[in-house]
Amino acid sequence: MKRVDVVSAIIYDEEENMLMVKNVKGYWGLPGGAVEKGEHLKQAVVREVKEETGYVCKVNELHSIREAFFQDKKHHALMITFFAEITGGQMSILDPDHDIEEVKWVSKQTFQKLNPKLFSMLKLKQQTHAFYEFEGNRTIG
């Protein structure tokens, strides 16, 4: 199995809305993606947020580390999520891979409706400190 490190960012605005992206397969999630060779985790978060949303961000503390095996792709994924905050830029999609089709700010309730599985896995309802979770064998989406 190929090891893949993936980062993502939980970003809130002043009204406690969360930044979400919709990929071309119709899946809503957090801005983020694979860590490139020679890149450290925080650099990857900043790059991915900029590419997928147009915003410049500052990475804050760790939210969670999750792990799963994606049998269909033969990937062993380590998913690292950070809290981050917007420091500049403006909303636009700059994704060179053309994977993102929409970006928007949503309430926690809307996040839960758009992606209840991710909302639950990230423990957004009750999460108060960083955590690690092995999520077993999964399929994409």
Q: For 110, phi and psi rounded to 5 degrees? A: -70, -40
Q: Is 34 part of any domain? A: yes
Q: Is 62 part of any domain? A: yes
Q: Tokens for 140, please give them.
A: 């994409």
The CATH number for 24's domain is 3.90.79.10
To the question of pTM greater than 0.85 for the whole model, the response is: yes
Q: What is the mean pLDDT of the chain?
A: 92
CA pair distance 32, 16, nearest whole angstrom: 19
Separation in Å, CA 81 to CA 25, 59, 66, 124: 21, 10, 8, 12
pLDDT in tens, 52-89: 999 999 999 999 999 989 888 888 999 999 999 999 99
Q: Are 36 and 44 in contact (CB under 8 A)?
A: yes
Q: Is 141 part of any domain? A: no
The helix/strand/coil state of 64 is strand
